Amino acid sequence: MPVVKLMTAGLPIALGAVMIGAGGVNFAGPASIRKSFADWGYPAGFHRVTGGLEVAAGLLLLIPMTSRVGAIGSAIILLAAVATVIRHRDWGHLPGAVVLTAVAAAAIAIHP
Protein backbone atom coordinates (compact mmCIF):
# COMPACT_ATOMS: atom_id res chain seq x y z
CA MET A 1 0.00 0.00 0.00
CA PRO A 2 1.49 3.37 -0.97
CA VAL A 3 2.41 5.69 1.89
CA VAL A 4 -0.06 8.39 0.81
CA LYS A 5 -2.96 5.91 0.86
CA LEU A 6 -1.85 4.61 4.23
CA MET A 7 -1.65 8.15 5.65
CA THR A 8 -5.00 9.13 4.15
CA ALA A 9 -6.71 6.15 5.75
CA GLY A 10 -4.66 5.74 8.92
CA LEU A 11 -4.12 9.29 10.15
CA PRO A 12 -7.80 10.10 10.82
CA ILE A 13 -8.26 6.73 12.53
CA ALA A 14 -5.20 7.22 14.75
CA LEU A 15 -6.22 10.78 15.65
CA GLY A 16 -9.77 9.58 16.27
CA ALA A 17 -8.54 6.95 18.71
CA VAL A 18 -6.44 9.52 20.56
CA MET A 19 -9.31 12.02 20.72
CA ILE A 20 -11.74 9.37 22.01
CA GLY A 21 -9.24 8.21 24.62
CA ALA A 22 -8.35 11.71 25.79
CA GLY A 23 -12.00 12.72 25.74
CA GLY A 24 -12.95 9.72 27.85
CA VAL A 25 -10.32 10.63 30.43
CA ASN A 26 -11.39 14.28 30.47
CA PHE A 27 -15.06 13.32 30.74
CA ALA A 28 -14.38 10.89 33.61
CA GLY A 29 -12.47 13.70 35.32
CA PRO A 30 -9.97 12.15 37.69
CA ALA A 31 -8.67 14.52 40.37
CA SER A 32 -5.66 15.62 38.29
CA ILE A 33 -7.90 16.62 35.36
CA ARG A 34 -10.32 18.53 37.58
CA LYS A 35 -7.38 20.33 39.21
CA SER A 36 -5.88 21.31 35.84
CA PHE A 37 -9.20 22.69 34.59
CA ALA A 38 -9.65 24.62 37.86
CA ASP A 39 -6.08 25.97 37.64
CA TRP A 40 -6.84 27.16 34.10
CA GLY A 41 -9.88 29.06 35.37
CA TYR A 42 -12.59 26.88 33.86
CA PRO A 43 -15.81 26.31 35.81
CA ALA A 44 -16.45 23.06 37.67
CA GLY A 45 -17.62 20.38 35.27
CA PHE A 46 -16.11 21.99 32.18
CA HIS A 47 -13.89 18.93 31.79
CA ARG A 48 -17.06 17.04 30.84
CA VAL A 49 -17.87 19.53 28.07
CA THR A 50 -14.33 19.26 26.73
CA GLY A 51 -14.34 15.48 27.01
CA GLY A 52 -17.68 15.19 25.26
CA LEU A 53 -16.50 17.38 22.38
CA GLU A 54 -13.27 15.39 22.08
CA VAL A 55 -15.15 12.08 21.95
CA ALA A 56 -17.59 13.48 19.36
CA ALA A 57 -14.73 14.75 17.17
CA GLY A 58 -12.94 11.42 17.56
CA LEU A 59 -16.01 9.46 16.48
CA LEU A 60 -16.45 11.71 13.45
CA LEU A 61 -12.83 10.99 12.49
CA LEU A 62 -13.55 7.26 12.34
CA ILE A 63 -16.27 7.60 9.70
CA PRO A 64 -14.84 8.32 6.23
CA MET A 65 -17.72 10.61 5.22
CA THR A 66 -17.33 12.74 8.35
CA SER A 67 -13.60 12.48 8.99
CA ARG A 68 -12.86 15.97 7.62
CA VAL A 69 -15.45 17.49 9.96
CA GLY A 70 -13.91 15.50 12.82
CA ALA A 71 -10.44 16.71 11.89
CA ILE A 72 -11.60 20.34 11.81
CA GLY A 73 -13.37 19.92 15.15
CA SER A 74 -10.27 18.30 16.62
CA ALA A 75 -8.08 21.14 15.35
CA ILE A 76 -10.38 23.72 16.97
CA ILE A 77 -10.40 21.86 20.29
CA LEU A 78 -6.63 21.41 20.20
CA LEU A 79 -5.96 25.04 19.28
CA ALA A 80 -8.03 26.03 22.31
CA ALA A 81 -5.92 23.65 24.41
CA VAL A 82 -2.70 25.18 23.06
CA ALA A 83 -3.99 28.69 23.80
CA THR A 84 -5.00 27.65 27.32
CA VAL A 85 -1.66 26.13 28.26
CA ILE A 86 0.29 29.05 26.76
CA ARG A 87 -1.92 31.60 28.54
CA HIS A 88 -1.35 29.84 31.85
CA ARG A 89 2.31 29.05 31.17
CA ASP A 90 1.64 25.36 31.68
CA TRP A 91 4.60 24.31 29.55
CA GLY A 92 4.39 20.64 30.50
CA HIS A 93 1.14 20.21 28.57
CA LEU A 94 2.28 22.21 25.54
CA PRO A 95 4.30 19.65 23.50
CA GLY A 96 1.51 17.08 23.33
CA ALA A 97 -1.09 19.70 22.44
CA VAL A 98 1.10 21.14 19.68
CA VAL A 99 1.86 17.72 18.19
CA LEU A 100 -1.81 16.74 18.17
CA THR A 101 -2.75 20.08 16.62
CA ALA A 102 -0.25 19.41 13.83
CA VAL A 103 -1.70 15.92 13.34
CA ALA A 104 -5.20 17.40 13.12
CA ALA A 105 -3.98 19.95 10.56
CA ALA A 106 -2.38 17.13 8.55
CA ALA A 107 -5.62 15.14 8.71
CA ILE A 108 -7.46 18.15 7.29
CA ALA A 109 -4.85 18.66 4.57
CA ILE A 110 -4.71 15.08 3.34
CA HIS A 111 -8.45 14.57 3.20
CA PRO A 112 -9.44 13.86 -0.41
For 55-68, give the DSSP string: HHHHHHHHSGGGHH
* pLDDT at residue number 112: 66
* pLDDT at residue number 92: 94
Cα–Cα distance for residue pair 36/82, rounded to 1 Å: 14
* pLDDT at residue number 1: 59
Cα–Cα distance for residue pair 12/97, rounded to 1 Å: 17
* pLDDT at residue number 8: 76
User: How big is the chain by its Cα radius of gyration, in Å?
Assistant: 14
Q: Which residues fall within 8 angstroms of residue 93, CB to CB, at 6 or more apart?
A: 36, 81, 85
Q: Enter the pTM of the model.
A: 0.91
Cα–Cα distance for residue pair 22/3, rounded to 1 Å: 27
* pLDDT at residue number 109: 93
* pLDDT, averaged in runs of 10, over the chain (112 residues): 72 96 98 96 97 98 96 98 97 96 94 70
Cα–Cα distance for residue pair 98/29, rounded to 1 Å: 22
Cα–Cα distance for residue pair 65/11, rounded to 1 Å: 15
